Amino acid sequence: MLLQPIVNLVEILSRKGVHHAIISPGSRNAPLTIALVRHPVIETWSISDERSAAFIALGMAQNLSKPVAICCTSGSAAYNYAPAVAEAFFQEVPLIILTADRPKEWIHQHDGQTIYQTDIFGKHVKQSFEIGADYSHPDAIWHIERTVNHAVNLANTFPKGPVHINIPLREPFYPLENEVVVSDGSVRVIERVETSNVLSNEVWANLLASIEQYDKVLIAGGQNEFDPDLTNILEKLQDEFNFPVVGDSISNLKFNVISNQDVFLQQDAENLAPELLITFGKSFISKSFKTFLRKNKAIEHWHLSLDNHLIDTFQSLTKILPVQPLYFFSKLLEEIDFSQFKNGDDEERSSDYLDAWKRNSFKANNYLEHFFLENFHQHQLNEFYAIKKLLDALPANSQLHLANSMSVRYANYIGTDPTKKIEIFANRGTSGIDGCVSTAVGAALTTTKRVYLLIGDLAFFYDRNALWNRYMPDNLNIILMNNHGGGIFRIIDGPSKQAELDDYFETVQSYTAEKTASEANLEYFNAKTVEEFHQLSIAFLQPNGKSKIFEIETDSKYNTEIFKKFKAGFAL
């Protein structure tokens, strides 16, 4: 077969654990499409919109913790992958990007679907590769095999991330009728053996000595996958050694972690400033938390990361520890001397610092509950109330995807019950509104859990092509908060005071999701009043083997009034 090397390329992907592929239709990528679809192990989906396709793959890879391949034709198709590729890069999610291309001599020759595709994703991939268009020499075959092995190994190496393989292809693109498309069995798989980074005894001795000299040690978790072992270790460190553990909703720390810092850190709270700050994970949602730690800089800040980039979010970084969080905190719990740390020579060492964080957290929780009790006897529905009611009612062991803008912020204020072990996802690598629906669709296609998406109207309509496919799962539940515009711009001080607010910031619109739901064959609910909301919530939350959209229409100005009242009402 003329294109046997392409078939073998796909065979290598499969043998290296790439068993899921999202294909966008085209002619130039036909050899890749046929090789992927006819492979007995690789599961494939056809998604026409490349931007949506890449985000669906992102949602799959998040869930699977394995690389997912995306494949498109030549030309502008590849550019449509860019938003999801950037998100995957900053979230450290492995994607294998396969872009078909014209041979080099045809670039910039007024031929169809031809652009400069080499290194098209710039710094937002771990590496770009390109194979040759001719396979006549054995060295060309060797180069293809070596390249594919290298790319997948790199995608899976911490920090994980997307890699790009650009593949120039000549005609003919299609096998002959009845021609068998299978690997010839000659492929070579090159395995990269992973090792675990550990710290030397000398380094540990120095770290422990540093920890034991500080009374105020704060652990903070950024965006992270749910890890029950890590959760258990951190809970012990908080309970036994009085280390406060702070985490946003997307840190996925499922214990009595301090997670409502957005509420109480709006006030001056210098007594909560750490002397030693230990961080792990990626981005933090809470602007109040970031501002607080930048203003009240720790004497020492250690960040646990295998990333080669120096990330100094709080402008206080003093050490980078290139180890996994589970290893570090497990070893810390094992090595730290309980009696010396709790008592030792320092008679003042106590639980005061943890108690101060817990008091503020307890007060913030009480304030949140009382605020809802006191303010929501009115008959006008608002999104803060609706979101709290629905988040409180989510079933255990489900997944929650948070769209960007106000959805992720509301959820961070409200939180979820940690005992329910609800995994929380959000595209906080770039924090864009594009791709939020697609990411949730990808997740739902790769889990039997119930998947919930909390999303605003602009983010929903921006990405409704996610529902334009033949594979709609039956476990996707979309909570659509429709305030008919970008309500966040009424809350932010700058745009809310401008004459252009309605037309150029909030971008007021009158759409609803009813027709979209009908076209995608999703069950549809719509609530405009408190009474309708209560009645329909029960039906929406009841599983019935069909995906759903619950659209909750509210008034943007009233939402802003309620939210600003909430933020202004808390006092330490």
Helices marked H in 322-395 = 325-335, 338-342, 352-375, 383-393
446 CB-near residues (< 8 Å, 6+ apart): 20, 59, 60, 63, 64
Contacts (Cβ under 8 Å, ≥6 apart) of 190: 146, 149, 150, 153
Could you give the CA distance from residue 546 to residue 535 in angstroms, rounded to a whole number? 19
| Residue pointed to by tokens 């003042």 | 348
pLDDT in tens, 389-444: 999 999 999 999 999 989 999 999 999 999 999 999 999 999 999 999 999 999 99
Q: What are 184's two structure tokens?
A: 């010839």
DSSP 62-128: HHHTS-EEEEE-SGGGGGGGHHHHHHHHHHT--EEEEEEE--GGGTTSS-TT----TTTTGGGSS-E
Supply the pLDDT for residue 5. Answer: 87
pLDDT in tens, 327-363: 999 999 998 876 555 544 554 457 899 999 999 999 9
Q: Supply the pLDDT for residue 179.
A: 74
Contact 349, 217 (CB under 8 A): no
For the chain, give the percent of residues with pLDDT over 90: 75
Q: What pLDDT is attached to residue 2?
A: 60
Q: Which tens digits make up the pLDDT trace of 275-299?
A: 999 999 999 999 999 999 999 999 9
Measured over the CA atoms of residue 501, residue 401, residue 87 and residue 20, the dihedral's sign is: negative
**pLDDT tier, 178 (very low <50, low <70, confident <90, very high otherwise):** confident
Structure tokens at 331: 């070893």
Q: Look at the domain 201-359 and name its fold.
A: Rossmann fold (3.40.50)
What pLDDT is recorded for position 485?
83
What is the pLDDT confidence band of residue 539, given thresholds at 50, 70 and 90?
Answer: very high
Residues 127-133, mean pLDDT to the nearest whole number = 93
Residue 544 near residue 474, CB atoms below 8 Å: no
- What is the pLDDT at residue 500? 74
pLDDT in tens, 67-103: 999 999 999 999 999 999 999 999 999 999 999 999 8
Residue 315, beta-bridge partner list: none
Q: What is the 3-state secondary structure (H, E, C) of 26-60?
A: CCCCHHHHHHHHCCCCCEEEECCCHHHHHHHHHHH
Task: Write out the CATH class of domain 4-168.
Answer: alpha beta
Q: Per-residue pLDDT for 138 more than 90?
A: no
Highest-confidence segment of 140-149, 166-175, 185-194 = 140-149
pLDDT of 167 reads 95
Fold match, 201-359 / 376-569 = yes
CA–CA distance, 15 with 36 (Å, rounded to integer): 13
Q: Check residue 346 and give its pLDDT.
A: 52
pLDDT tens digits for range 228-277: 999 999 999 999 999 999 999 999 999 999 999 988 887 678 899 999 99
Q: How confident is the model over 193-235, as pLDDT tens digits?
A: 988 889 999 999 999 999 999 999 999 999 999 999 999 999 9
- Confidence grade of residue 498 (pLDDT, cut at 50, 70, 90): confident
State the CB neighbour count (10 A cutoff) for residue 295.
12
pLDDT, position 349 = 56
Task: From residue 455, give the alpha-carbon distance in Å to each of 38, 389, 410, 437, 439.
Answer: 37, 15, 11, 8, 12
Alpha carbon distances (Å) from 277 to 217, 292, 304, 480, 485: 6, 12, 11, 38, 39
Q: What is the pLDDT of residue 502?
A: 73
The dihedral sign for the CA sequence 78, 84, 88, 90: positive
Note the pLDDT of residue 508: 81
Answer yes or no: CATH 3.10.180.10 is held by domain 376-569. Answer: no
Rounded average pLDDT over 548-560: 95
| Nearest Cα residue to 148 out of 169, 170, 164, 160 | 164
pLDDT at 510 over 80: yes
User: Of 27-41, 133-147, 558-572, which gets the smallest average pLDDT?
Assistant: 558-572
Q: What pTM was computed for the model?
A: 0.94
Average per-residue pLDDT for the chain = 91
Gyration radius from the chain CA atoms = 26
The full set of domain ranges for the chain reads 4-168, 201-359, 376-569
- Give the per-residue pLDDT at 114: 86
* pLDDT tens figures, 362-401: 999 999 999 988 877 767 899 999 999 999 999 999 999 9
SS3 assignment for 523-566: EEEEECCHHHHHHHHHHHHCCCCCCEEEEEECCHHHHHHHHHHH
